Structure 1
Amino acid sequence: MKLPSLLAVALLPFGLLAAPTAEAADLEIRQEAVARAAGAGLFERDRTCRLEGDAKSVNCRAGPGTKYKVVTTLGMWSEWVFDCVKSGECVNIGGKVNCGWHFIKYLGDHGCYINGHYTSDACTQASLGWC
């Protein structure tokens, strides 16, 4: 009878090491929540969108408004990777008002903004998130 008791005492530390800790369980719950949110599209960013409109080109500006300097001019119907949307100057085109300025991170020294009037339906505040 002493051998089974001795064996149980000797193996007890290994059993404790195998038991999940509160920290491990918390990490697993957080990882699962992040995976669910990502699957639901809550973290979508860096979306490729096409520039659309009647003009031949569109100005990409240093900030979210027409008063900011033009960083570069992009050809209409070209595709770019947008990172997020920033609220800015509201632009009225044909009676439709758009105050969202879509940010391209990798153009110019600090990126640039294009009014939401000129981006395809794939680029929305819901899909890109706020800057």
Structure 2
Amino acid sequence: MKLIQFLIASILPFSIFAMPNPAPAASPTVDETVVAVEAVEAVGYSEKRDEPSKLFARDRVCRINGSGRVNCRSCPSTSCSAPYYVVGGSSYNFDCAAAGECVTIGGVTNCNWDRTVAEGCYVSAYYTDSGCTVANLGRC
């Protein structure tokens, strides 16, 4: 009987680690743009070139500026849905640049949007590094 009491008394404090984390109070934001809670992270950089869709791909790998989440939209406009997001500091494959809604962030205006290869969603070129230019990617 004392053994059972000892086991319960010694194991009970560890049960607090099994409790789930509380849900975040609000959606994460980047430059005042809210990332949708139901958004899914876009597929990152991949070297896998033996897939049929990748054999002749001429995509470019670019890093996302900043450290937070950035919306990846279904079209090159902030009015389009954002089913995906990309993470600042991570690298992603982009295949082309599209002219779209001009976005001004921190006094810098950019009207280009870069399209990811895997999801086909658009990230404002403000957030992609200098390797993802219209000259490097070409127009969509």
TM class by shorter chain equals: 0.5 to 0.7
The answer to whether the Cα contact below 8 Å between 1:51 and 1:119 also exists between their aligned partners in 2 is yes
- For residues 71-94 of structure 1, give each alpha carbon's deviation from its aligned partner in whole angstroms, at most 9, with x where no partner exists: 211211110000000000000011
Question: What stretches of structure 1 of length at least 5 have no aligned partner?
Answer: 1-43
Identical columns (%)? 44
- For 1:89-108, list aligned pairs within 5 A: 89-107=101-119
- Superposition map of 1:50-69 within 5 A: 50-53=63-66, 55-69=67-81
By how many angstroms is 1:105 displaced? 2.4
Deviation at 1:95, TM superposition (A): 1.1
Q: Which has the higher contact order (CA 8 A, sep 6+)?
A: 1
- 1:45–1:84 Cα contact (<8 Å) kept: no
Q: Which runs of at least 4 in structure 1 moved beyond 2 Å after TM superposition?
A: none
Partner residue of 1:72? 84
Identify, as 1 or 2, the structure richer in helix: 1
Matched with 1:38 is: none
Partner secondary structure for residue 83 of structure 1:
strand
**Larger radius of gyration, structure 1 or 2?**
1
Distance 2:125 2:58 in 1: 15
Given that 1:85 and 1:101 are in contact with CA atoms closer than 8 Å, whether structure 2 keeps it comes out as yes
Q: Scaled by the length of structure 2, what TM-score is found?
A: 0.57
Which residue identity lines up with residue 116 of structure 1 in the other structure? A
RMSD of equivalent CA atoms: 1.4
Q: Distance in 2 between matches of 1:45 and 1:123?
A: 12
